[in-house]
Structure formats: C-alpha cells, structure tokens
Structure 1
Amino acid sequence: MERETMPVDVLFVGGGPACLAGAIHLMDLIEAHNETATGDDVIEEPMIALIEKGSELGAHGISGAVLDPRALAELIPDWESREDFPLERKVEAESMHFLTARGSIKAPLMPPFLQDHGLPIISIAKLEKWLGGIAEEKGVMIFPGFAGVELLWSEEDDTQVIGVRTGDKGIDADGSHKSTYEPGMDLEARVTIIGEGPRGHLARQLIDKLGLDRDSQPQVYEVGCKEIIELPEGSVTRGEVTLLAGYPLDLETFGGGFIYTMDGDKACIGLLVGANAKDPAMDCHYLLQKLKDHKFVRNKLAGGKVIKYGAKTVTVGGWASIPKLYTGGALLVGDSASFMNPMRIKGIHLSMKSGMLAAETAFEALKRGDSTESVMAEFKRRIDESWVREELEASKNWHAAFEDGLIPGGLKAGMMYLFGPGKEIKPFEADYKHMLKTAAVHGSKGYPPRDDITYDGTYIVDKLTDVFMSGTKHDEHQPSHLIISDTEICATRCKEEYGNPCERFCPAQVYNMVDNEESGRKEMQIDFSNCVHCKTCDIRDPYQIIRWVPPEGGQGPEYHNL
C-alpha cells in the first residue's frame, strides 16, 4: 500500500503540556541560534510538527489542576501578565479534611508539600489550547485528529526511530475499507519526541521493544474521575482548594479527593484511587458519587449540578518508575515517562520541563546532523542536572511507602519528608498484581451492591450520564480499539475468580457481561463508543489480556474545560 510520506526535522507526539512546551522552546532555540549563525550553520526553514489524537488541542486534556508555574515561567516569562492566559482563579484559601462516614476532621495545618497558596487554578485543556496558539505563532505545524499508531524504524539499525505512522481512517468494523478510506501518513523525523500521557501507545511500543524499563520500577497509576459542578449564582467568591482524605476509601486503598473553585460559579471535584486497590470491585466513579453524597461535600457544593465529566489515569511512580528515556532518534517525556511528583500530586510543571530539555537535546541533534543514541543520551544528563531530578528524588519512595495501607504509609511518608527518602529506591509491583480474588475480599457473597446512594441525574449521576457529559464520541462502524486477546477468560476464569472487575473499574461502562442465547451464559460485550481513553482497563486487568490502542483520530472525549 502506498502511503504519503512527510519529512520533518522534529516530530512531537501528543498535544499535552510536555510536547507543547518542548515545541515552543525548540522554536525559540532555533530563532536565537539563527540570529548569530552564518552559512551552513543556519537552520533554514525548520520543519517542526506535532500530532494529537484528539479532535483539537485540549479535547483530551484533563487534570486537577493547580499549576506550579516554575517551568512555565522559564518558557514564557510574562505568562502572568498576559491577558489571554487561561486563569480560572488563584488559590486564596486552602484546607485539608479527613472524612469519616458521618463527619469530617479539619487538619490543623496544610502539609508544606501540599501548600498551594497564590498558585493558579487552571483547566489543563484550556492551557493546552493556549500553548498551542503560541506554538503555531512560532511556526510549529500542529495536526489534530491524527493518532500515532506505529513507530518507524531504520532498516540499518533496529534501535533507531525514524518517525511515526498515523492511523488509517475509514475502516469498517469488519476491517474492510469504506468509501471514505484514507491510509495513514508516514511522518519521517530526525528526532521523535513522545509525550502521549499515561500508558502511551507509542511509548509502550518503544519501552517494550527495547526493554527501556528493565532497570526501573514498573509504571504505576491512580484512577481519577473528575466533574465540573455548576453552582447557584454568587456561590463562588474566591479561589479555594479543599483536599480530602479518608471516606469513601478504606484504609488499605491509596487515594483522595479534591475540590477547586473555578471561574464563574463553578467548582470541580475529583477523586483519585490507587489502581493497585486490592478490592476487585473498586469503582472510582461510584466512589466519587459517594464522596459527593457526604454531608461535608454536599454543603460545599449545595445546589450544584454536573455539567462536565472526565476520567484518566495518573502516573504515581515518580522517579522510581522513570525508564530509560532515549534511544536513537527518540525521547520519552511527560506522563509517558512518569514525570509526576506523587508527594505533591503535581506533574504539569515536570512534564513541561521534560519537554523543554528534550527540545534542547533535539536542537543539538539538528545542529550536529546526528540523532544517534549517543546524542540522544544527553537528554538524561540534562534531566539529572536540572531541578526535575532534585524535586523527584525527594519522593522516589512515596509510592512504595503506601503499599501496606494508609496508616503505615502516612507514618513512613512523614519520616521521609523529615529525614529524606534514603539512598535506595524501594521496589514495588505493577498495579494489577495487587488485586485480590473476590472470595478473599467479599467471601461467598460476591460484590456488594451499589444501592446506598440515590441517583438524581443532576448532582448524583450514573456512569452513562457522565459519559454523555464527557462529550465522548466514536464511530461505531470501526474496529474496536479495546482488544481482549481471550474473551473465554472473561466468561470463565475471570467471572469465577475476580467477578469481572472491568465492569466496575471502567469509569465509562465500556465492559458489560450480557446474556448470550447461543452459549447460554454471559459473554463480554465491549461498548467501545463509551471509552474516555483513560487506559484503566489496560492497567488494572488482572490477566493483562486487555489492550488499548488508538481509535480513528479525532474521536474520543471532548473535554475542553477539564
């Protein structure tokens, strides 16, 4: 099959803060270089491209988020004075509360590493659109609606990446070509910078093929669900951050909640739950509804209604989980490489800085005309010499500390904060290995019912209502992008041993066991059109038989303000 080929100098994969910051920084470096360079040293008409699988920048962007502006200030020093900066509010008040089933206890002090006073509350989706506009002004070519599906490799050196193939469009569910069929394009790049977010598709290809994670701990995650609540007029008067611990989580499950006020009379509420939860019935969306039903939270969000929903996974391994970051022609940045501080629950600034340091490495490669592994290795040196390492090393054993539960984890974390994390990285296992079988958690009764809250369709909403609120759309006449390698396991072993946990842990009700008249038993039905691209199934499935791959470009959630 003939495919269109487009040569570029540097290709960024992913429209998040890491790649956008990297693209902007690279253009700035080239511009500054060309002001003094002469002759052949001038980098003429640089072709810098960025592809994003969402319909536009920000369509798939979801985070808290209270932004640490350290990297942003390096990249765009006047960001704070720009009238177009997408600020929701600045943090004017903050508090932390431990919830019990019937009450709440306010922490006397906010832990120093969680203090956010004066920092900007933002929508990461709006930040991405803003950064994208700046990147385009500088000459970066941005291609939304194009999913990277395959890495291109050099024929002479099978460890040298030479670009990315984008996904075909117009393929029917049976694999045949529709009248609208368009083959994907081969983007051939001297340097490819991969920043697709957590559990990135191309990042996983690269890591798996070259064993880039052999000397690091596994990448581990939390499952996050978030809603925007519209409140009665005049309800929100200041920037306020409320952090929540305890209920509805048990003492063996890591996680917590947050409420941030936004521009206008809106607030966002979210819940993070460890993807390593022992209980196979863990359901982050249901737990978020229980959190909202708590008296303390109801008082905060009185009269509110849900107007937007999203879900994602969050990398929480931090420094311990960062793999080898480079090979010939390619670099890993952002959440794809675990650049997130699990102690502060912050990663946007780290992702941005990783993208900027990757840009500096790509810039040197362009100047030298050499993108082999020895040149790409300079990226790791830049990381090690930057404030990224200084910040992340302090929390390198944070995740390991909480593997034994909240109370011992809190004690270990306190000791770490006071005396340091120690010299060695403490090992931990991949999330799916922690799930216990149903009988070990719930005995012979099976999963507990979820009938202890009343869904009103406005403030307490079910999964399918929230999926609608996410704006998620997929053409159902295409191959499923959620691939189960052996559905027989779903109908037999998984049902008996774990109770089909994907029906619970998926925050978009993609997986449903339904009666099959021919077999006389329940069989797996994948409603992939509901998928919000969070990757929870790929991460938490106890048999590791579910694989998330990109659907046709431009589809999926439409977040825009999350």
Structure 2
Amino acid sequence: MTPQREQLEADVLIVGAGPAGLACALHLANLIKKHNEARAKTAGGAQLSPESIYVLEKGREVGAHQLSGAIMNPKALAELVPDYEKSAPLDTPVTDDAAFFFTKNSAYRMPITPPPFRNKGNFVVSLSKLTKWIGGLVEKAGVNLFTQFGGAQLIYEREGVAGVITEDKGLDKNGKPKDNYTPGYELRANVTVLAEGTRGSLTKQLVAAKKLDNINPQSYGIGIKELWDVQPERVQPGFVAHTLGWPVSTDMYGGGWIYGLSNGRLSIGLVIALEYADPQFDPHAAFQTWKTHPFLKQILDGGKLVRYGAKSLPYGGWYAMPRTYVDGALIIGDSASFLDSQRLKGIHLAMKSGMLAAETIFEALLAGDFSATKLSAFPQKVERSYIKEEMWAVRNFHQSFQSGLFGGLLHAGLQFITGGRGLIDPMRAHAGHEAYHKINGRPAPERFHGDGKLTFDRLTDVYHSGTRHEDDQPCHLVVADTNICSTKCLIEYGNPCQYFCPAAVYEIVQEKGAPQLKINAANCVHCKTCDIADPYQIINWVVPEGGGGPNYEGM
C-alpha cells in the first residue's frame, strides 16, 4: 500500500549540503536578495523568496559526511563570500610543497615539484568545518536547510523531474513500520539540484533513466584518510607533500598525501584508482602498509590517531561528465564529475558549478521556464568559465594511466605540451570493475591486522570515523542476487567486496557448512565503493535512515 505522504512545495530543492549544494543555495539567495532590493526601489515586478529554497542533507549535521584531503583553491570561495578570510575556518595556508617517490625503505624528493603538485596560494582545510561554516551563512540568508533527510527517489513528471521523496523513517529491518514510523515527505520543486557527491544514488537513477552518459563511463578512485595529532616539530603547518611509488605497484594508479595543519595536527591518506586487476587487492591494507614507510613512521611515532574516513572520487573528467540538465533538474559538483583529475582538486570546481547553477536557476525563476531548453544555459555557463579551462587541459589525463604508471607519465607529458590533447583525443576508458582478472579459486590472502599503534584494522578505523546507524532498519546495501556472491563470485573473483570495502561491511561466513554473504551495514561510511567496484554490478547503495553514517568532525 502506498503511504500517505505530506507534500511540500518549493521553488528550488537542492539534494546535498556539500560545497556544491551550499554554494548553489547561498549564491541563489544572494541573487534573490539583490533582485528584491532592486524591485523595492522601483516598486515594480514580483519578488522572490530565499525561503522557497530547500536544502536536504542526509548527515546528522552539515559537515558530518564531508571528507577530503583537503587542499583548497580559494578562488570560488572568494567569489561566493568576498570577505571570507575574516571568518572562514581556513586552517593554514600552504607554505611548502614537495613530491616524493617511495621505494620500500627510501624516499626521494623530486628536485623540482611537478606543476600538478604545486599549491602555493592554496589552503589546507577541513572540508567538514568549511561546509559547516557555509551552512551557517546559508541559513542566515533565509534558506531552509534540513539535516537528517536523504533523497530516496525522484518524482518524474512528463519528460522531467518534479522533486524528490525523502526516505521513510521508522521501518524495521523487514521493512515493516515500527511505533515511530514516519513516511518520507514528497518535496516538489520547479528545479531539483542533485549535489549528492560521488556516485549519488539519485544521480545514478537519473543518468540511467534519461541516458545522460558521456562517451566514457565514469572512472573512480577511493581515498582513505586518517587525521593524527603528532609532535608539532615533526611537520610544519602548511607543509604539503605527495608521494608516488611504494606500496602502490606500477600497474596501478595511486599515491599518498601528507598535509601539515596547525597545532600539531596531520592529515594523511592514500588514493587508489578503482580499476586494478587483482580483485583481492585491499586499499585499506595498502594505506596501513604505506604508513610503515620510514618517512611516515618517523613523523607518526608517538602520535595519536584522531579520526578516520573514506570516500570515492570521480576521476573520469570532461569526457565522463554526464549531461547535467533535464526538464526540472540540474546535476552539479562531484555528482557531475567536476574534479580536476590531474591535481585531484575539486572543492573550488564544485563550488563554482553550484554558483553557475544558481545563476541558471535565477534566470529560470524570472522567466517562469524550467524546461531543459532553459536549463541548458548551465553547461553553456560552464563552457565559458574556468571550470572548462581547467578540466579541458586534463581531459585525457586519467585515461592515460589505465595501462600503468610509466605509460601514463609519457602520455601526460605529451598532453602537457599539447594543451591536453596528447596522442589520442578523446582517449577512451573502460569501467573500472571490468579490469578485474579472474582468480579461479585462488586461496584468500591473510588479512591485515595492524599493531594498534601505527597501523590499524578496519574495525578500529571505523570506530574512529564516528559511524553509527540505527540497527533495526532495512539494509541500505541492496544486493540483487546473493547467490552470485556465495557461488560464482566466490570462485571467479574471491568476493572483492571483502577487500575493497574500507569499513568491513562485507563478509563471507559459513552457515550450515555453506558460504553466505553477511552485510554489516552499520559499519558503512557511505563511500559508495561497493556500488562502484562490484564485478557484477549487483550492489545498489541507497540512502539509509537520515542521520546515520559517519561523523567526519574536523576532517
């Protein structure tokens, strides 16, 4: 039986309170304010209201699900909030940048830092703190910001999108109503903006339903991060280093970061492209192994782990960007692949995409026209902005590394000389999960356990992510056919979900003498890696009850 849902109407509904969604909301509210002030002086024309802008955030508070390295180029923030330096929580400016090549026991600093690793003028920030600050400005501007609500499904009308239905609350694990059951809201809007981050569940639905894919499938990476307190003299605030090499093999794409923050705090992490051949490769174990390198070990010795997290990134670039508009809807930020795949910088591009979306929506509100034709002004604005300039120069970059590190470096050098073209333009890509080689029954490797001081197992790290979910709710990790997991996948690929998940969500256990998939959904840190990297594409990540998930305070 279809539940009776309360219906709310808005001019604009933004799904996701990350840098893209919040920038969109704040810029649109500012445009409306200027419009209303001008109309008040001339006593003519209809006024708009920022209160008719709704923002949904599935985290328990704004910033709770925000994770990045993070090095931020401030130019989009300077456009959005011109006096940002007075109050924005920018931890420290970059004071020194370096690039290292690691072997197992040595670190070689490159004599000249390659251009993609140069960060002078940028800031080391906590994305969680930054979005929380912008969220306060959004609310102060009169926008309605609702936390602990996720977008569960799109409302389609005619050829386009008419809004979103939020998740039902108070269902038990079998989907039956509990005493606190509340059906999700039906939120209708003239324009719905999908700003869900990488592999957004609604964006995935919309791209598939409307066939919005580009010439390349999206490529993804996983970033695994820890925040440490270390002895202040070990790393200077503003020191930024990136590493290539050990323990990431040359047939894979990945590397590490070491960012010095203020007050002896350190951000470290490893990013790995989710397109490797060995289905039993464990990104979390690789990250923990990376920390045992002498260069890292001497920095971390005597320090303390503060926080842990993981998230996926859209590597695909310009040729993997979906069409970003349909009747009644826009796609922005990481959901739309606005990330510089060479520098792995996306905060400023996400924010700028949100601002350009706001300008498009403002024009649509004035015209009373929310058609795809009217909203197609958004990609045209992107084309004329520095988003196009940055992303076009690296349009073939990530694809170059799908055949290995050294071939990728050769292609990247040629692309640098030719303005991004290289030898092949466009360079095609394959979906990452297609890279797996079958293992055909190869024994499972021994799992990484950690020493509890420098290195940690996944459950210990999950504890440090602040993750929590209501246990008695429907599983938000929907596996289409679990028989494949216990039979075909077990033999052919050794159940990669046990290895690529950085939160120990998936296990193969013995029940009545037979292997069965066990899902520890309460551990999920919302990185979406399972939805991306499953070899059979039978795992569908959907929003759990709002307020669940990690708490990336300070990350």
Shorter chain as denominator, the TM-score bin is: over 0.9
Shift of 1:12: 0.7
1:23 aligned partner: 25
Shift of 1:296: 1.3
2:53 aligned partner: 48
CA distance in 2, matches of 1:399, 1:524: 34
For the residue of structure 1 that corresponds to 2:45, the secondary structure is helix
**Cα-to-partner distance string for 1:123-168 (whole Å, 9 max, x where unaligned):** 10111101001111111110000000011122xx1x2211111000
2:276 aligned partner: 277
Select the residue among 9, 12, 15 that pairs with 1:10.
12
2:290 aligned partner: 291
RMSD after superposition = 1.4
CA distance in 2, matches of 1:150, 1:547: 13
CA distance in 1, matches of 2:198, 2:310: 12
1:69 aligned partner: 74
Instruction: Kindly report which structure 2 residues correspond to 1:187-226, keeping only aligned pairs within 5 A, or say none.
Output: 187-213=187-213, 215-226=214-225
State yes or no: 1:142 paired with 2:150. Answer: no
State yes or no: 1:494 paired with 2:489. Answer: yes
Select the residue among 104, 113, 118 that pairs with 1:101.
104
For the residue of structure 2 that corresponds to 1:40, the secondary structure is coil
Shift of 1:300: 2.3
Aligned-partner residue type, residue 59 of structure 2: G
2:553 aligned partner: 560
1:546 aligned partner: 539
2:464 aligned partner: 469
Instruction: Between 424-433 and 32-41, report the one with greater CA deviation.
Output: 32-41
Shift of 1:301: 2.1
CA distance in 2, matches of 1:174, 1:366: 43
Shift of 1:268: 1.0
State yes or no: 1:126 paired with 2:129. Answer: yes
Using structure 1 for the length normalisation, give the TM-score. Answer: 0.95
Shift of 1:359: 0.4
Shift of 1:450: 4.2
1:510 aligned partner: 505
Contact 2:51 2:144 survives alignment (8 Å): no
Structure 1, unmatched stretches of 5+, are none
For these two proteins, the number of residue pairs brought into alignment is 548
Shift of 1:233: 5.3
Contact 2:32 2:50 survives alignment (8 Å): no
For the residue of structure 1 that corresponds to 2:64, the secondary structure is coil
- Residues 225 and 39 (structure 1), Cα distance of their counterparts in 2 relative to 1, 3 Å cut: same
State yes or no: 1:531 paired with 2:524. Answer: yes
Shift of 1:550: 0.5
CA distance in 2, matches of 1:45, 1:522: 54
1:419 aligned partner: 418
CA distance in 2, matches of 1:338, 1:134: 26
Shift of 1:427: 1.0
Instruction: Between 105-114 and 180-189, report the one with greater CA deviation.
Output: 105-114
1:324 aligned partner: 323
Contact 1:12 1:49 survives alignment (8 Å): yes
1:39 aligned partner: 44
Aligned-partner residue type, residue 389 of structure 2: E
Shift of 1:183: 0.6
Contact 1:236 1:264 survives alignment (8 Å): no
State yes or no: 1:363 paired with 2:356. Answer: no
CA distance in 1, matches of 2:54, 2:45: 23
2:432 aligned partner: 431
For the residue of structure 2 that corresponds to 1:480, the secondary structure is coil
2:160 aligned partner: 160
1:232 aligned partner: 231
CA distance in 2, matches of 1:98, 1:62: 25
Contact 2:50 2:142 survives alignment (8 Å): no
**Cα-to-partner distance string for 1:150-195 (whole Å, 9 max, x where unaligned):** 11122xx1x2211111000000011110000001001111111111
1:86 aligned partner: 89
CA distance in 2, matches of 1:258, 1:132: 28
Aligned-partner residue type, residue 88 of structure 1: D
